[in-house]
């Protein structure tokens, strides 16, 4: 169901993990599906289910343009997203970009 | 060509005009209050299910802000975390801010905190109910204003 998503994330970073990945040395991505987004019901049943999840990209270089590549790759395969947060984790010195995505299934 | 007439729109418009600014503000605040309730309950419930030992302080720090006027002239209310965990450490003389702990839980960290999204899932689950509650409260207020006008 999420093969396309994983495939495009691998175009951005070689290290892509599902659900968990931490204490790494270089840039890496963690992705996960975590709940149902705004789905559509009609005639007493669900007509269109939307799955929502996140992509977390951990980088060390503040000038890393790979951030834009994540968004370009998601656009290429028509996955809707928003940039949820950008956090600097001072104990590991990673800059943590977090996107929320939605896919209709 | 088809035509459509909406009856009573002029009367409703006049009833709304009759509401003073204070009455309208109070109605808006009541609507926000009703909308906030399911959101706060859902966030609390989700947080309870994801926190582990030693994070009872985080649950206690969850609260609802006072309803305040925003810079666009509307009203805002927020559900969030206040204060510190009271355990001073390097970089945090008052303890780690509860907002930071909540963010680490929601988004995960590179250091080793697994991601446990609770806030976004809560909002997704109750958004319709919250909007419904707000609509019902505001419609009831408008209905009352309309009846006052018709007297």
The ipTM (two decimal places) reads: 0.86
Quickly tell me which residue has 């009759």 as its tokens.
Answer: B18
C-alpha span between B122 and B127 (Å, rounded): 8
Beta carbons of B110 and A96 less than 8 Å apart: yes
Percent of chain B with pLDDT over 70: 89
Q: What is the pLDDT of residues B9-61, one digit of tens each?
A: 776 677 667 777 778 888 999 999 999 999 999 999 999 999 876 667 899 99
pLDDT in tens, A4-47: 999 999 999 989 999 988 777 889 999 999 999 888 889 999 99
Say how far apart CA A5 and CA A7 lie, in whole Å: 5
Who wins on pLDDT, B136 or A21? B136
**Chain mean pLDDT for chain B:** 87
d(C-alpha A19, C-alpha A5), whole Å: 14
> What residues pair up with B80 in beta bridges, in sequence order?
B63
Task: Label residue B29 exposed, middle or buried (CB < 10 Å: 0-12, 13-18, 19+).
Answer: middle
Phi, psi of B47 (to 5 degrees): -65, -40
Q: What is the pTM of this model?
A: 0.84
Which among A34, A37, A89 is the nearest to B110, CB-wise? A89
How confident is the model over A5-14, as pLDDT tens digits?
999 999 999 8
- Chain B CB contacts of A29 below 8 Å: none
Q: Report strand pairing: A94-104 vs A80-89.
A: antiparallel
């Amino acid at each position: 169901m999420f093969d396309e998503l994983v495939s495009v994330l691998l175009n951005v970073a070689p290290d892509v993990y599902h659900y968990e990945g931490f204490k790494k040395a270089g840039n890496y991505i963690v992705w996960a599906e975590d709940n149902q987004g705004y789905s559509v019901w009609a005639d007493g049943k669900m007509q269109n289910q939307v799955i929502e999840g996140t992509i977390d990209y951990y980088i060390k270089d503040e000038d890393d343009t790979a951030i834009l590549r994540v968004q370009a790759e998601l656009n290429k395969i028509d996955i809707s997203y928003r940039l949820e947060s950008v956090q600097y984790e001072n104990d590991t010195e990673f800059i943590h970009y977090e996107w929320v995505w939605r896919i209709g299934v | 060509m088809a035509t459509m007439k909406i009856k009573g729109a002029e009367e409703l418009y006049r009833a709304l005009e009759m509401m003073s600014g204070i009455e309208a503000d109070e109605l808006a605040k009541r609507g926000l209050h009703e909308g906030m309730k399911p959101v706060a309950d859902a966030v609390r419930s989700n947080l309870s299910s994801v926190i582990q030992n030693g994070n009872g302080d985080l649950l206690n720090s969850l609260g609802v802000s006072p309803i305040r006027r925003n810079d666009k002239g509307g009203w805002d209310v927020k559900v969030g975390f206040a204060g510190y965990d009271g355990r001073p450490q390097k970089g945090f003389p008052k303890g780690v801010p509860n907002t930071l702990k909540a963010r680490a839980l929601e988004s995960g960290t590179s250091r080793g905190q697994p991601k446990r999204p609770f806030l976004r899932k809560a909002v997704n689950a109750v958004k319709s109910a919250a909007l419904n509650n707000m609509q019902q409260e505001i419609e009831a207020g408008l209905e009352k204003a309309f009846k006052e006008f018709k007297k």
